[in-house]
Structures are given as structure tokens and as C-alpha cells.
Amino acid sequence: MPPPFTVTFSAGSAGPWRVERLSTLAGPGLPAATHLAMTDLPGASWRLRGVVSHPRYSTAAELKMLAGVQAGLGRPEATCAALIPIRKSEAWWSMAQDERRAVFEDRSRHIALSMKYLPAVARRLHHARDLGEPFDFLTWFEFAPEHAAAFDDLLAELRASPEWTYVEREVEIRVRRV
């Protein structure tokens, strides 16, 4: 495991990713912006910070399975991406670790159902709750344009799962590499 590191996403009028669509799924949205960067850009209209950290819920077997199929960020063909900041409810955070795992995987099959979208979709999870940020997680995904429809199917599956009844704020920012 590499040591944890902080990532800042900034939105503004310039940056390596052009915003195609910004949708608010739950709770307050985010101000519109034309560009997004995975760095701290001067003059950004908004910034979100998260830490790339250790896994919380995955079992050793799941981590091994993921490591065998997942792709890394920055593939040249992956010109589409999505930043999906998520905040979960008090009800989620007041549960114990084993209860959260039960909702996340035993009842929602988050890993099992997402696995079939690998390696088409590359991903990175950033934890933001402990930084006092407005979202608990910043989720980031990269894929080629021909896998955009499959990514939409994945979103629909996850959002219909019991885990999502605990999501109280969610914004989806779909971007294209400039």
C-alpha cells in the first residue's frame, strides 16, 4: 500500500478536462464550471479535496480479484471521465463497520456487480470526510467513449441498491479530455 496522499479537484474556466454535464442527484449541487483538473488550480471557482487511502471494506479475496483485473488511471484511450462526490447520511456513519460492510456488499453487491465493468472503467476513491469537506467521498472514473453506456448502466445498478438509500448528497460531473 502506498502512503496516503491528498488530491485536490478544481473546477474553473481552464483545465485538462472539459465539463460536458453536471447533474445533481441528491442534496445541494455545485456551481457550474466549464473545466475540471485533478490539481489545485489558481483561480478555481470551487475545490474538493480527498485522500487516497487504504481500503475499508474489501476482503483479501476481493482485493486480489480487483488487482487482477483493474486498469490504472491515465490510459490514452480513456478520454471520458466522471467525478462523483458523495456524502452519506448520519444513519450510515452511526452504524458499526460490520453493519456498513453488510449493506455495502452482502445486501448491495457493490463489488460483485461493479467488477464486471473492469477493466473498461478505471477508478480511484478519495476519502474526504475526515478532512471536514462537504462530501465524504470523491469517486473518480476514467473510460473510453465506447464504454460510456456501460458506465451509465453501472450507475443505475448502484443507485438502485440499498447502499444508496444512505446517500444524501451526490453530484455527477461528466468530463472529456481536452
The answer to whether the CB of 151 falls within 8 A of the CB of 9 is: no
**What is the closest distance, in whole angstroms, from the C-beta atom of residue 59 to ligand HEM in the complex?**
9
Q: What 3-state DSSP class applies to 100?
A: helix
Give how far Cα 73 sits from Cα of 57, 88, 119, 175, Å: 22, 25, 11, 14
Mark residues 119-158: x for contact with ligand HEM by CB under 6 A, - for none. Answer: --x-x-x-----------x-x-x------------xx--x
Mark residues 42-61: x for contact with ligand HEM by CB under 6 A, - for none. Answer: -------------xxxx---
Decide the pairing of beta strands 137-143 and 80-88: antiparallel
Please give the Cα distance from 76 to 177 (Å, whole number). 10
**What is the closest distance, in whole angstroms, from the C-beta atom of residue 86 to ligand HEM in the complex?**
5
Binding segment for ligand HEM (CB under 6 A), chosen from 7-15, 26-34, 43-51, 109-117, is 109-117
Please give the Cα distance from 32 to 134 (Å, whole number). 17
Q: Figure out which of the listed residues 78, 84, 171, 173 binds ligand HEM, where binding follows CB under 6 A.
A: 84
The answer to whether the CB of 82 falls within 8 A of the CB of 140 is: yes
Binding segment for ligand HEM (CB under 6 A), chosen from 2-10, 27-35, 37-45, 107-115, is 107-115
Q: Figure out which of the listed residues 7, 33, 52, 118 binds ligand HEM, where binding follows CB under 6 A.
A: 118
Strand segments, DSSP code E, in the chain are: 5-12, 17-26, 35-37, 46-52, 80-88, 122-127, 137-143, 167-177
Binding segment for ligand HEM (CB under 6 A), chosen from 16-24, 28-36, 43-51, 113-121, is 113-121
Tell whether residue 114 is a contact of ligand HEM (CB under 6 A).
yes
CA angle 118, 119, 123 (to 5 degrees): 75
Which residues of the shown chain bind ligand HEM in the complex (CB under 6 A)? Answer: 55-58, 66, 84, 86, 110-111, 114-115, 117-118, 121, 123, 125, 137, 139, 141, 154-155, 158
